[in-house]
């Protein structure tokens, strides 16, 4: 593998995969498991991409960290078995990743734990496209730039040789705080206004548009 190839970093949920229904189901199972009421799916969608602990402390058991941690365990046990029941790739993901893979190194940067992210990517058939699937294991979650900086370090690249792609303000902010050109996709969880306010360098209304944006930014023409 050519170590000089630039890097494209993708968020997972809401960027590559429409996983809203599976995540909402896991949240509801875990909320019920600690004695809380189920929430409408639409109410849970906006929580996607946040750390689980923060979600439970806000919408489940405010101030009760022990209960929140029990909910996290229930969530992970359920999601491990049901992470791809209803999840689907967004249109054009496979074709675009195949195109980009010829000229770029590709990575995933997600708030999920690494082992869970690997499972989702594997079950949806995306693992062969990625050089690394990086979960948030033991460091601050996006919008903190830690996960982006870690990937830059591991690939041995400066920020100017990478692009971050995500669907929420947290993704865009993490990229920008790491000094990386950041693209917000408008078809996921976050809205266009949110992405603009976060300072997205570009917006993309569908996944295939990304190939042209990435090539133009990193000055890499297609083969």
Based on the domain organization, do 132 and 163 belong to the same domain?
yes
Going by the DSSP 8-state scheme, the letter that residue 129 receives in this structure is G
pLDDT tier at 4, thresholds 50, 70, 90? confident
CATH code of residue 32: 1.10.150.240
What CATH number should be reported for the domain holding residue 117? 3.40.50.1000
Catalytic: which of 2, 13, 18, 223?
Answer: 13
Q: Are residues 137 and 98 in the same domain?
A: yes
Mean pLDDT of 146-163: 98
Same-domain status, 134 and 39: no
Q: Is residue 149 part of a domain?
A: yes
Q: Which domain holds residue 192?
A: 7-18+88-218
- Asked if residue 2 belongs to a domain, the reply is no
Written as six digits, the tokens of 190 are 């976050």
137 assigned to active site = no
Instruction: Based on the fold, state whether residues 36 and 77 are members of the same structural domain.
Output: yes
**Chain segment 189-221, per-residue pLDDT in tens:** 999 999 999 999 999 999 999 999 999 999 998
Sign of CA dihedral 84, 89, 95, 97: negative
**What mean pLDDT do residues 20-26 have?**
96
Catalytic residue among 2, 11, 64, 131: 11
Is the domain of 116 the same as that of 203? yes
The per-residue pLDDT for 2 is: 57
60 shares its domain with 112: no
Q: State how far the Cα of 83 lies from the Cα of 140, in Å rounded to an integer.
A: 23
Same domain for 94 and 158 = yes
Please report whether residue 109 resides in a domain.
yes
Task: Give me the pLDDT at residue 3, please.
Answer: 61
pLDDT in tens, 34-61: 999 999 999 999 898 889 999 999 988 8
DSSP 171: H
Distances (CA, A) of 168 to 31, 46, 72, 101, 193: 24, 10, 22, 24, 10
Question: Is 54 an annotated catalytic residue?
Answer: no
pLDDT of residue 49: 86
Give 170's Cβ-side CA count (13 Å radius): 23
Q: What is the pLDDT at residue 174? A: 98
On whether both 44 and 95 belong to a single domain, the answer is no
Q: Are residues 31 and 97 in the same domain?
A: no
In a domain, 28, yes or no: yes
Q: Is the dihedral of CA 146, 147, 151, 152 positive or negative?
A: negative
Domain count of the chain?
Answer: 2
Of 42-46, 96-100, 107-111, the poorest mean pLDDT is in 42-46
């Amino acid at each position: 593998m050519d170590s000089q190839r630039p890097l494209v970093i993708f968020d997972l949920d809401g960027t590559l995969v429409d996983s809203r229904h599976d995540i909402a189901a896991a949240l509801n199972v875990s909320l019920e498991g600690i004695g809380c009421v189920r929430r409408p799916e639409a109410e849970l969608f906006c929580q996607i991409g946040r750390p689980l602990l923060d979600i439970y402390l806000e919408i489940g058991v405010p101030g009760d960290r022990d209960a929140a941690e029990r909910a996290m365990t229930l969530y992970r046990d359920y999601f491990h078995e049901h992470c791809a029941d209803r999840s689907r790739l967004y249109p054009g993901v496979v074709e675009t990743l195949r195109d980009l893979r010829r000229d770029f190194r590709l990575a995933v940067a997600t708030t999920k734990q690494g082992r869970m992210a690997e499972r989702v990517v594997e079950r949806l058939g995306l693992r062969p496209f990625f050089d690394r699937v990086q979960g948030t294991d033991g460091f601050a979650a996006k919008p903190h730039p830690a996960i982006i900086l870690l990937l830059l370090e591991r690939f041995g690249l400066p920020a100017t040789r990478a692009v971050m792609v995500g669907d929420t303000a947290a993704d865009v902010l993490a990229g920008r705080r790491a000094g990386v050109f950041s693209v917000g996709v408008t078809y996921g969880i976050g809205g266009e206004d949110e992405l603009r306010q976060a300072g997205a360098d570009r917006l993309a209304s569908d996944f295939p548009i990304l190939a042209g944006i990435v090539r133009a930014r990193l000055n890499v023409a297609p083969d």
